[in-house]
Amino acid sequence: MKSPRGTGASLKNFPLFGPMAAIVFGFLYIPLVFVVGYSFNSNRVVTVWKGFSLEWYADVLSNDDIQRAVINSLRVASISTVLSVLFATGLAIGLLRMARAGKTVAWSLIMAPLVIPEIVFAIGTLALFVQIRFPLGVDAITLAHTAFCIPFALLPIRARLRSVDLAVYEAAADLGANEWVIFRRITLPLLAPGIVAGALLAFIISLDDFIVSYFLAGAGGTTLPVYIFGMIRNAITPGVNALSTLLLLVSVVIVTISYIIARRKR
């Protein structure tokens, strides 16, 4: 038998794991750094650095088509966020009281958009809308986004609901509150952080979506990612990077806020 080799704390450091972790973190972030960095390039050719400039930001922000795309994106994301949060809050509460079989069915329906490849979901929705003669455009995109935002909105709300102490309901009922009062005065305030976190996640999922929007855009429904895709296809300038940087910034800020809200007071 060999003698014990000390505390074993050294095992916390498998050789090479630290450096390999650093490499993977680099792999995750360096590509984004290049996107952001080249957005300040004054050269027309993205990857040939000429000098620092903000002209591409001025360029894209003053472009009418881009402004329209931004408005479309914001409209789609706001409405689908509100709708998906309403549905998700109902589902979170309903799931608690569902029988086992119902819960299984409901849960697979909710998670389906995460498991089905997005392209299939996109063309399926396209086929549905064409079949029922629903016009393509921002409204069609909004309806589709609402569906796949539901699971993202649901998970933080559900996590919050599960942590609620059931005794507070009992206490409220004992004190004579009816169901509606309990919902408005107790359930909703308790769920609020989960609802806000879920809403923020739903918002960026919708804002960043490309494939579903691309197929449902029709003539007037160009969203920002669909517009950026067109730019990449046509001619890549640092303008693409400038727009991408702005979109990245919005995503990172929103997910950070959501993260902070969801972790608070847990």
Partner 1 sequence: MAKGSTRARAGQGSWWAGLPGLAYLVALVLAPLVIIVIFSFLSRAKLGVGVKWEFTIQPYIELFYRESLSGERTFDPTYLQIFFNSVLYSLITAVVCLVLSVPIALWIATRPPKWRTLLVFLVTIPFWTSLLIRTYAFVIILNDNGPINGALQGLGIIGEPISMLYTPFATTVGLVYSFLPFMILPIYASAERFDFRLAEAAYDLGATKLTVLRRIVLPAVRPGVIAGFILVFIPALGSYLAPELLGGGKTSMIANVIAAQFGASRNWPFGAALSVMVLVIVMLALVAFAVIARRSSKRGSQQSLESLL
Footprint on residues 204-263 left by partner 1 (CB under 8 A): 204, 208, 210-211, 215, 225, 228-229, 232, 236, 240-241, 244, 247-248, 251-252, 254-255, 259, 262-263
Q: Which of residues 95-154 bind partner 1 (CB under 8 A)?
A: 95-99, 102, 106, 109-110, 112-121, 123-128, 130-131, 143-144, 146-148, 150, 152
- Least CB distance to partner 1 at residue 1 (A): 7
192 binds partner 1 (CB under 8 A): no
Please state the length of the chain.
266
User: What type of residue is 44?
Assistant: R
CA distance 194 to 258: 9
Would you give the binding string for partner 1 spanning residues 156-175, x where CB under 8 A is met?
x--x------x--xx-xxx-
Q: Taking each helix axis as running N to C, give the angle between helix 138-162 and helix 188-208, from 0 to 180 degrees, rounded to the nearest 10.
A: 140
CA distance 3 to 259: 46
Q: Taking each helix axis as running N to C, give the angle between helix 138-162 and helix 64-96, from 0 to 180 degrees, rounded to the nearest 10.
A: 40
187 binds partner 1 (CB under 8 A): yes
Q: Give the residue, chosen from 44, 55, 67, 94, that forms a contact with partner 1 under the rule CB under 8 A.
A: 94
Nearer to partner 1 by Cβ, of 58 and 130: the residue is: 130
Count the site residues for partner 1 by CB under 8 A.
111
End-to-end CA distance of the chain: 47
- Least CB distance to partner 1 at residue 208 (A): 4
Q: Give the residue, chosen from 60, 155, 196, 216, that forms a contact with partner 1 under the rule CB under 8 A.
A: 155
- Angle at the Cα of 127 from the Cα atoms of 206 and 145, rounded to 5 degrees: 10
Q: Is the dihedral of CA 173, 180, 98, 146 positive or negative?
A: negative
Nearer to partner 1 by Cβ, of 75 and 93: the residue is: 93
CA distance 224 to 15: 45
Q: Which of residues 25-84 bind partner 1 (CB under 8 A)?
A: 25, 27-29, 31-32, 34-35, 38, 45-48
Strand residue runs (E) in the chain: none
Nearer to partner 1 by Cβ, of 56 and 152: the residue is: 152
91 binds partner 1 (CB under 8 A): yes
Nearer to partner 1 by Cβ, of 75 and 169: the residue is: 169
Say if CB 181 and CB 112 are below 8 A apart.
Answer: no
Region for residue 113 given its phi and psi (left: phi exceeds 0; alpha: psi -120 to 50; beta: otherwise): alpha
- Least CB distance to partner 1 at residue 2 (A): 4
Element (H, E) at 33: helix 17-38
Nearer to partner 1 by Cβ, of 20 and 54: the residue is: 20
